[in-house]
Structure 1
Amino acid sequence: MALSAGGKAFYNVTILGVAFLLVFTAFQTCGMIQTVVLRDDKDFQGSGYDSLAIIYAVFAAANWIAPSVVALLGARCSMFLSAVVYTGFVASFLHPIPWVLYSLSGLLGLAAAVIWTAQGNYLTENSTEQTMGRNSGLFWAMLQGSLLFGNLFFFLEMEGINSVTTHLRTIIFIVLTVISGVGVLTFLFLTKPPEEFSSLSIQEEGPTGGFGLLMKAVTAFVRSAKLMLNKEMLIISVTNFYTGLELTFFSGVYGTAISNTKSFGADSNSFIGISGMLIGAGEITGGLLFGILGKKTIKFGRDPIVLLGYVVHMICFYLIYINLPAESPINPVFPRNGVPVSIIGPNIELAFACSFMLGFADACFNTQIYSLLGSYFKSDSASAFALFKFIQSAAAAIAFAYSLVILLHWQLLILVVCGTLGTLSFFYVEHHPPRNEI
């Protein structure tokens, strides 16, 4: 029986979520553990932070051409090819070689810009004003399920083990590579968005011939450049920048800080897995809460949800400040006789509680940003989401770079200041929607 337009759209959003769940189960787990994995590989001369900084630096720059790529290839093809690159990056950890890893990091940055631009475009094409909040929350919850499964696997593999051996690394990354590969195949089940919903400038079909394709790509680039000068887009960029900083913190820095806090005992490495699962649980809770209740919460606007995320983040940052050693993001910190390594002495239960809070607050911000961009810039969603990812990934690249040298309390101070400015910026745009799109 043929599906209705709404049913077809919901099918596409569900398949989109499953595909991203699988691919990012591999990639997000890889991102959280790669610094520790490479640290324990005595033959590897480099750093996981360097790889992540390259990814997000290229990611930021590539967002300017991503709408053109999506215009040329279409959203579905763009996501499929990008997912292939993600799988290759994960597979490179089977035998990490610096020049190979860093080269693939750069290529992955390009693929990331394309896949997220295409995702935002495709999600919007399968949503209406009434379903955008629900679909954003559903997709976000499914995506962040990746943090549960990958990190649970890592925890079970690392329990009671002090370092990642070559044999263990091979097992972990074979499994992650296979999972990502299945995700690549899942993209093939996506269908064309319902014509009733499709009102975007970037379509699956377009002019053929070299000149027509070139003009399509140039037009997409010009629209992105113009949209960047939109007053409200400039203001919401402050919020986007903050999400990039806190993305870096919860996805790469916080797990490393827990692993480096040796007061937690011999299982401190495996605790990265538990922390990642709890971050994922927080993300899923927020995504489902604001997705399922989207029709009710939208009556009060998006800003109460963002305010909730801000308050949770600020409390969380204070608790992390008093709980973890200042040097923990950079170097292992061992117990000292009679000398506290943190203000209250490291407490693993409190550290895990903060993991959940980091994920929940991140979901508060991101689900509402997705909803806002999809609603306010519906006819230019590809450009809007590309600019969102441009600012976010630029911030993430900066944060991964300074994470190597800046102590924990300074990193937290940066997050507090930028979080406050980002929240105020969101409030302004929520109550002053753009009068005209480009």
Structure 2
Amino acid sequence: MSPEGKRLLNIVILGFGFMFMFTAFQTCGNIEQTVIKSFNSTEFHGSGYTSMAIIYGVFSASNLIAPSVVTVIGPQLSMFFSGLLYSGYIAMFIYPYTWSFYTASVLVGIGAAVLWTAQGNVLAINSTDSTIGRNSGIFWALLHLEGNRNMFLNKDRQTVFISLTVISLVGCFLFFLIRKPDPEPSPSEASGVAAAVQACKISVTKEMLLLSISIGYTGLELTFYSGVYGTCIGAMTRFGKDAKSLIGISGICIGVGEILGGGVFGMLNKCNRFGRNPVVLLGLITHFIAFYLIFLNIASDAPLAPEAGTELQAYITPSVSVALLCSFLLGLGDSCFNTQLLSIIGFMFRDNSAPAFAVFKFIQSIMAALAFFYSNYLLLHWQLLILVLAGFLGSMTFFVAEWVAESNRRESDYDSI
């Protein structure tokens, strides 16, 4: 197999490994709050929103050590052991206790930092300047390929979570199929403690500061589509007695949007004729349409509604079709932002990819933690307003960062000539 073929195969394996893991984990996250509300046990008093806030809070702090871990034990083992922590979190729901629930939340937060830093490292070392956009799109499409189908398992809670645990473990072991690229990348990555120092330096560069608002927005909207919106749909009693079953269909619609966006924008990046800005602009418009329709269609108290749901109506007659269309648009817009962020960070910080992706995940996760925290208290329309403002500012700063990246590329091309 040619060197380019081997690198592409590594990206495909990476995508499938993450697909299996996050099919399980995101399905768990989507149904978590709803499942917890159904517990009648006096031994369990956990909150799904609080758990996610802990996960993303620990995630953000752990990004300070993640580059060093990836550098010392390598990206392959880093992803495997981190994946085991994800599997442990899912398995905890088989026999849940409050103490094990929050302990697992802390551990998966640590694992998430190492996992995503290693993912960025593998993506960067298996890509060139001309293939980083394509590979980012392929990875993103594969990541969301099978998401949430297991929500249709018409079984008891324990059977569902045992199945999800097994699926997650399959993803962990797939990482062992990834091989070192040929030729091997230049050993320019920082090592040990130096990697953490390098991450701190990268975080205050002009390029990363420009991208930080856009990255922060992806953390806020990640919280919304992966946890809050599914809960809102399940709480809408006006959708009928099967409203909670729509959570799974919503997850599939999000996944379809992610797959479509990752595949199409990955291929567009192969040409890179128009740059990354049009894709990000499309993502912003897509999300704004989704937020407006959600505002009209979903009751404002849906995120905070009790187990029985909410009887309130928004501004139009509640429509299941509109709700699922919004799920698709949320996924499509999310893929627009994330594929372009993966691409531009991999391009700008190729020689320090592990620290750079650690900074990316630090910013994203701390904003996700903040969003999961305020989701316990804010009505839907306030959450949507925050997303609109952050999305607009993040897109504007991304446009400037893309202009800087293109300027640097032209200067590099001129120097080489």
TM-score, normalised by the number of residues in structure 2: 0.94
Q: Secondary structure at the match of 1:42?
A: coil
Paired with 1:24 and 1:322, the residues of 2 have a C-alpha distance of: 30
1:328 paired to 2:326: no
Q: Distance in 2 between matches of 1:248 and 1:146?
A: 20
The answer for the alignment partner of 1:306 in structure 2 is: 280
Establish whether residue 421 from structure 1 lines up as the match of residue 393 from structure 2: yes
**Secondary structure of 1:329's match?**
helix
CA deviations on 1:80-128 (whole Å, 9 max, x unpaired) are 1111111111100101111111011101001000000000001110111
**Contact 1:60–1:390 at 8 Å: present in 2 too?**
yes
CA distance in 2, matches of 1:384, 1:335: 43
Q: Quote the residue 2:10 is aligned against.
A: 12
- Alignment match, 1:154: 151
Counterpart of 2:70 in structure 1 is 70
User: How many pairs are equivalent?
Assistant: 405
1:236 paired with 2:211, answer yes
| Local SS of the residue matching 1:201 | coil
Q: Unmatched 5+ residue regions in structure 1?
A: 158-166, 204-215
- Paired with 2:110 and 2:189, the residues of 1 have a C-alpha distance of 19
1:76-87 maps to which residues of 2 (within 5 A)? 76-87=76-87
Distance 2:187 2:263 in 1: 27
Contact 1:155 1:272 in 2 (8 A): no
CA contact (8 A) 1:280 1:359 kept: yes
2:206 and 2:133 map into 1 onto residues whose CA distance is 23
Range 167-176 or range 55-64, more displaced = 167-176
Once the two structures are superposed, residues 19-59 of structure 1 have per-residue CA deviations (whole angstroms, 9 ceiling, x without a partner) of: 11111111111111111111111112121111111000000
Identical-pair percentage: 51
Task: Output the CA distance in 1 between the equivalents of 2:13 and 2:123.
Answer: 11
Give the match for residue 111 of structure 1. 111
CA RMSD, Structure 1 to Structure 2 (Å): 1.5
Assess if the C-alpha contact under 8 Å between 2:300 and 2:314 holds in 1. yes
Q: Give CA deviations for 1:143-184 in whole Å, capped at 9, x if unaligned.
A: 01142xxx2221352xxxxxxxxx711010011011111111
Equivalent-residue separation in structure 1 for 2:377 and 2:10 (angstroms): 43
In 1, distance between residues paired with 2:224 and 2:236? 16
Moved more, 217-226 or 280-289: 217-226
Aligned to 1:88: 88
> Which residue, out of 138, 152, 170, partners 1:182?
170
User: For 2:355, which of 383, 392, 401 is the aligned residue?
Assistant: 383
**Residue equivalent to 1:353:** 325
Contact preservation (8 Å) 2:91, 2:165: yes
Secondary structure of the structure 2 residue equivalent to 1:363: helix
Partner Cα separation in structure 2 for residue 188 and residue 301 of structure 1: 34
Q: Which residue of 2 aligns with 1:318?
A: 292
Q: 2:75, 2:150 → 1: CA distance?
A: 31
In 2: Cα distance, 1:226 partner to 1:15 partner: 32
Q: Deviations over 1:381-430 (max 9, x none)?
A: 11111111000000000000000110000000000000000000100000
Summarize the Cα distance change of 1:178–1:28 in structure 2 as closer, same or farther, 3 Å threshold.
same
1:24 aligns with one of 16, 22, 25: 22
8 Å contact from structure 2 (residues 55, 369) kept in 1: yes
The aligned residue for residue 411 of structure 1 is 383
Out of 24, 30, 40, the position equivalent to 1:42 is: 40
Runs of 4+ in 1 over 4 A off after TM superposition: 332-336
Over 3 Å counting, the alpha-carbon distance change for 1:295 and 1:430 in structure 2 is same
- Please name the residue that 2:412 is paired with: none
Q: 3-state SS of the aligned residue for 1:129? A: coil
Flag the 1:292–1:200 CA change in 2: closer, same or farther, 3 A.
Answer: farther
1:206 maps to what in 2? none
Q: How does 1:263-282 map to 2 (within 5 A)?
A: 263-282=238-257
CA distance in 2, matches of 1:311, 1:179: 35
Structure 2 unaligned runs (5+)? 410-417
Distance, in Å, in 1 between the alignment partners of 2:201 and 2:286 is 35
Cα distance, 1:435 vs structure 2: 5.4
Paired residue for 1:293?
268
Q: Distance in 1 between matches of 2:121 and 2:309?
A: 48
Who is 1:225 aligned against?
200
| Distance across 2 between alignment mates of 1:326 and 1:49 | 17
Q: State the secondary structure of the residue aligned to 1:270.
A: helix
Bigger Cα displacement from structure 2, 389-398 vs 324-333: 324-333
Q: Give runs of aligned pairs for residues 169-208 of structure 1, distance below 5 A.
A: 169-196=157-184, 198-199=185-186, 201-202=188-189
The residue aligned with 2:402 is 430
How far apart are 1:293 and its partner, in Å? 2.8
CA distance in 2, matches of 1:386, 1:432: 21
- Are the aligned partners of 1:75 and 1:121 in contact in 2 as well (CA < 8 Å)? yes
Q: Distance in 1 between matches of 2:402 and 2:138?
A: 21
Letter in 1 for 2:180: K
Instruction: Report the Cα distance in structure 1 between the residues aligned to 2:82 and 2:193, rounded to whole angstroms.
Output: 21
Distance 2:231 2:310 in 1: 17
The amino acid that maps onto 2:31 is I
